[in-house]
Amino acid sequence: MDSLAATTAVILAGGVGSRLRSVVSDRPKVLASIHNRPFLAYLLDLLDAAGIGEVVLCTGYMADLVEETVGPAHGRMRVAYSRELTPLGTAGALRAAMPQIKTDSILVMNGDSFCEVDLHAMAAAHQVRRAEATMLLTEVADTERYGRVRIDDGGRLLSFEEKGAHGGPGWINAGVYLLERRLVETIPENRAVSLEKEIFPAWIGRGLYGHTTSGRFLDIGTPRSFNDAKVFFSPAEGATA
């Protein structure tokens, strides 16, 4: 059985994008325009192509604009919304969306990064390992901006290193996660919580694995990296929207 058919996707789309204000001032960063398409559309395309049936967008800053832009569907996918009234952080926003999620497996994506990945292969590895949580990892030439992730030979996640701690090549968190519902439900409710800083480090040793990919990675968090998106995505991808 294809496990993605029984998986709900969640995109964390509530960020303000304060570092992008000089180039994207009138909308949230997930709606930043690339070849006349919102960045969010490329993430939704990836999920739709993988056969995901339903996606929940966790919104916050300018939530109305996100809902108006995306609407109730994208391709064959149904789109639902979970709006945070006060900033809850990446984990808090995910926890608040749980009443809208009925599946046992949840595919979570950051709304400001994109990584080329075979989601079916990631889901298969998650199943084979009987993982509670699987984090997509990609290798970059310099980990200083992102922080470094270490795994053992079996893929078990061993440690996280803070941004700026070490440079040079290494594995980083690519912002895509397959999580089991029972683990997500252990996240504290109704307060700001960070997946990256609080939750994932606490899950080491509790069935947290890394899944490596050689696919290209893009983070649009800064004006320079946002400008790279025009090359990362082809104009033809925008034209087919």
Enumerate the active-site residues. Answer: 163
Contact criterion met (CB below 8 Å) for 41 and 34: no
Task: Please tell me what DSSP assigns to residue 53.
Answer: -
Encoded tokens for 188: 């504290």
Alpha-carbon distance 185 to 70, whole Å?
Answer: 28
Amino acid identity, position 96: A
- Residue 44, C-beta contacts closer than 8 angstroms, at least 6 positions apart: 11, 55, 70, 74, 75, 77, 79
Q: List the beta bridge partners of residue 114.
A: 218
Q: What are phi and psi of 74, to 5 degrees?
A: -140, 115
- Residue 167, C-beta contacts closer than 8 angstroms, at least 6 positions apart: 142, 143, 144
Helix (H) or strand (E) holding 34, with range, is strand 33-34
